[in-house]
Structure 1
């Protein structure tokens, strides 16, 4: 039977990474897959992660299964990070959190819940959005519609288009929102614009589903949660898929969470029971190590403070690279205005490079990026900046 199976197309991002690994030219640069790189071109393990792991190795007494939803310590740490350590919501009984295999797993669990328990048939995602969103939601049986988001002329948020499109959504449909550091554009709403978005969600009776994968990479750990916290203050029900791949550097540990804010404690209890039922049929229960690392760091004040410093250092490096990139293009005589890249947030930028230009960069200069022109700024390096800017100037 297997002989009848056709070859699936390569994933647009992970497939690009495989092609980069096979690249033999020494000057190669990978701006495709979304991982943070340090000045040496490595994806580092945070010092706080290493310290947490040392403590876990010394204190661990069992490799027994975790409960279906994960540990209470992890869930509590996730909720405090999302809503703030003193948030009244934490003691309301309206919040429930399940551990998930990365942000991707959290999104898929949530998508299954939307279809199975709420009978939702449609979810709205931004245009553009992370490439995998469409596949995750379609696989769960949802119809994916798009709302305008990126204004190609201003390189900013098309807030009027976004609000107009969401105003056409039907009551009871879901809306996928990016908490901060929008992937792939790097363009985020202001807090005033978040207020406008919330009003439309309320008026149309839409269910917000927030993808929150880069907390701490825009302005700060608490600052980046401003939109989310406004959302949960004014909306009775919210789903949040969070990931700790980036801000804890736990990429291969697949540490994520799905958090539901319900209208009442009884509703939250029911939601948790159904999420556990979905998880049981998919992967039974979650892995331990990565979540234990996160919980160890976030429940120790000294480690938490050190982690905030490490996140700030990563954030600062990305911002520095953005400014170096803009200056480097200008130094190469590029007339096109790329100053918007310095204003965008997080790891990614929507460069505006065409598919043809992206292909030329790969074929002629061994510079790899997604066909849409999305650049992972965190994959740049000061030592290679001149080469990168010269290559882009050439294809422009």
Structure 2
């Protein structure tokens, strides 16, 4: 079995570990913003295709220690790169380096690039080409002090790119974060899901796919593992067929609304492209005036956040949210994500549970709200 590391966001590690367990990965270990596991190529294919909270699935090529920068080139030269890069395939290298040996992190990537080119030229008599934007084969150099790990990126572009966002909105939420928050909320898909202030509709699409067990990468055409010499197309086709057989055809109850007509139109466009439109009820309603048409369910609220707005005005806004929740949403399973600097207690909220997540670079709290 091979060793893999799956990248994710802060706060979603346990959810990702459970997803990997569900597809029968072995030796699962939770790390910082990542989960490692061992598994066969089949498990790697499924992790890329089915794990909603995965950003990238990296296969470990080699790990070793260095005592100075030039050791990186020497040890990288010992790796059989010709087994990873077929003839006429391009490659690229990302770096994640924190080490006193490298003042310029790009230098570490350059050393590995040189080792790859020199080794393959020695073995084949020609050199592979670098393509920084759309490489067939992608590698990652990970260095912490003197510890080095070289990875093969089996995913390619980040898995948060689900290919359905025609409309991004003012502050679009990552698809991976949206799916992770829904799973963290404990939503039972047989009950209604409500998303006030729905923005670009990311929560609606991810909720529909969770409810009906539709793979998050259902529309993705390119994965880097397809370019690998050992790609098993027959195995991949079986995974695709199996995923279609597991789709739940029962329509869920998913309700999204926003007071912005532009956001509502954007949500409709995104859900249409995602194939979720028929499963979602989308309205142009004001959260502060709307009374739910269902008696219970899960509410996931991501209020707009303007960093230029004075804190006292933000607090006033959140106090209105709290008042509306207490008036209309008693008995609902209510969750709210907001920047960490917003004091929910000062805004009058009573929280049952809180956890830290990141919306892009913004440190946020994800809280379960007691509506009384």
The structure with the largest alpha-carbon Rg is: 2
Greater share of helix: 1
Greater share of strand: 2
Task: Output the TM-score relative to the length of structure 2.
Answer: 0.30
Higher relative CO (Cα under 8 Å, sequence separation at least 6) belongs to 1
